[in-house]
Amino acid sequence: MRKIFRIMKREYIAAVHTKGFIIGLVIAPIIMGGGFIALAVFKDRVDTNEKVIALIDHSGVVSEAVVEAAEVHNQDYLFDETGKQIRPAYKMEVVEVGPEGVGPQKLDLSDRVRDGRLHAFVEVGPGVLHPGDDPMAAHITYHAENAALDDIRGWLDRQVNARLRELRLKEAGVDASLMGDILSWIETEPMGLLSRDEASGGIRDATRSSEARAFGVPFFIVMIMFLITMMGAVPLLQAVMEEKNQRIAEVMLGSVKPFEFMMGKVLGGVGVSMTASVVYIAAGVYAFRHFELGNTIPYSLVAWFFTFMFLNIVMLGSILAALGSTCNDAKEAQSVTMPAMAPLMVPMFTIVPIATAPLSGFATGLSLIPFFTPIVMTLRLGTTATIPAWQPWVGLAGVVVFALLAVWAGGRIFRVGILMQGKPPHLPSMIRWIFRG
């Protein structure tokens, strides 16, 4: 144990006393969360240039209302209370269908959009007022360079449909003064569940469920786990391979058992991970509180987070160190890195389906596969859903067993691989080393 501790200490100091570690600590989350940061930084930087939109109204009933709505928009919604323009002005250009037909006209409008003289054009079908009569004639199409993500499409959608409903109600003989009441819209608020306050015995009211809590927290947790494992466990493969090639391994094995050597390195990786996680968690808590999201932080998750993270580094670290011991050069290391990264990559690719449906069979099943348990189970626990109490414990038991197996098997592979020169990594050989030494 003494020797493991000495090696761990050396590995830890060697890792954290580098500029690379400090820079990586800062840069990694910026790169990983770059999109979100950019979104936060640039969310108020809206394009305020006037948008010219052409409208071909085959129905003849909506163009007037849309032009009016655009004028209201330009008059009332362009500026905030400080007088700063926060939205672009809309200029509607109603296009009459000419003798050459609508096809050439739409092509001409498309060319104008490409040239930048027009932002978009809309075609309203002739049968939009009563879609049931002829569904084929009831289309509304929006043509733009990036139509799917264009906010103006939504604005137009609301204006055209509001006008059509109004006309339909008018035709049905509804009094115009009742229109506002009839057409009013009430949003459904997303709320959590009520619970009993154990201290007072009273009922604790539900809190509003926010996107930050529903997706931000699980995403943050997965990112932290991923980054920390990348910093603590993944470099072991390269480090062990280098020490093998630089013959440091032989000197070390003259003093310590292969298992002690490997565990010292793995626990050094755990130390690096702990340091990084303390920094990230502290920064995360500060950031959430700064943006007044402190109430969304699931503090009860901290114990699970650190337990699963520790086991994840031990499990993956042992496997990666063992694989590193079988490699002779960077090319060989690269070939074994990709499959070894699967326990990290699979949870990354499944964040969205798991975060949106943490109680699904897929999420539950994946979180109980030991390789994926640390990240996926922590992700599920980070959501607002109530995960059955037995699941994290069963997942934990699986990871403990698997981590012990990984340490044992990794130690067996490491013992042979670290002194094997010139022989590329070969799965059957590794399996043989595990069972026969």
Partner 1 sequence: MNAVELRNVTKTFGKVVAVDDLSLDVPSGSVYGFIGPNGSGKTTTLRMIMNIFYPDSGSIRVFGGEAGDSCNDRIGYLPEERGLYRKMKLRDQIKFYGELKADRDVSEQVDIWLKRLELEDWAESKVEALSKGMSQKAQFIAAVVSEPDLLILDEPFSGLDPVNTDVLREAVLELQDKGTTVIFSTHDMDVAEKMCDFIFMIFKGMKVLDGTLDAIQEEYGHDTLRISADGGVSALRGLEGVERIRDFGRIQELRMKTGADPQEILARIMSKTRVKNFEVSKPSLHDIFVRIAGPEAEEVEVAENL
CB of residue 3 vs partner 1: minimum separation in angstroms? Answer: 6
Residue choice 128, 160, 256, 368 for contact with partner 1 (CB under 8 A): 256
- Beta bridge pairs of residue 222: none
- In the complex, minimum distance from the CB of residue 231 to partner 1, in angstroms, rounded to a whole number: 18
Provide, rounded to whole angstroms, the least separation between the CB of residue 246 and partner 1: 6
Interface with partner 1, residue 45, by CB under 8 A: no
* Contact between 254 and partner 1 per CB under 8 A: yes
> Is residue 6 a contact residue for partner 1 (CB under 8 A)?
yes
Tell me: does residue 253 bind partner 1 (CB under 8 A): yes
**Residue 330 engages partner 1 in binding (rule: CB under 8 A):** no
> What stretches of 291-389 show up as alpha helix (H) in DSSP?
302-326, 330-340, 342-349, 351-356, 361-367, 373-382
Nearest CB to partner 1, comparing residues 11 and 123:
11
Which residue's entry shows tokens 């997965």?
222
**Could you tell me which residues come within 8 angstroms of residue 269 by beta carbon, excluding any fewer than 6 positions away?**
11, 15, 232, 233, 235, 236, 313, 317
Instruction: Choose which of 248, 285, 359, 434 interacts with partner 1 (CB under 8 A).
Output: 248
| For partner 1, the closer CB: 78 or 419 | 419
Q: Is there binding between residue 335 and partner 1 (CB under 8 A)?
A: no
| Cα–Cα distance for residue pair 188/209, rounded to 1 Å | 12
- Whole-number Å distance between alpha carbons of 298 and 383: 9
Q: Report the nearest approach of partner 1 to the CB of residue 254 (Å).
A: 4
Among 69, 124, 249, 407, binds partner 1 (CB under 8 A): 249
Residue 250 in the binding site for partner 1 (CB under 8 A): yes
Tell me the two tokens of residue 311: 């086991």
Nearest to 399 by CA among 322, 309, 272: 309
Residue 251 engages partner 1 in binding (rule: CB under 8 A):
yes
Tell the smallest beta-carbon distance from residue 437 to partner 1 (Å): 8
DSSP code at position 202: S
Selected from 247, 286, 352, 397, the binder of partner 1 by CB under 8 A is 247
Residue 139 makes contact with partner 1 by CB under 8 A = no
Query: Measuring CA to CA, how many Å separate 207 from each of 262, 321, 381?
Result: 48, 46, 18
CA 304/CA 162 separation, integer angstroms? 50
Report the residue number, 118 or 249, with the smaller CB distance to partner 1: 249
Q: DSSP secondary structure string, 106-158? A: HHHHHHHHHHTS-SEEEEE-TT-SSTTT-GGG--EEEEETTGGG-HHHHHHHH
2 touches partner 1 by CB under 8 A: yes
Contacting partner 1 (CB under 8 A), which of 255, 295, 334, 386?
255
Where do contacts with partner 1 occur on this chain (CB under 8 A)?
2-3, 6-7, 10, 14, 243, 246-257, 419, 437
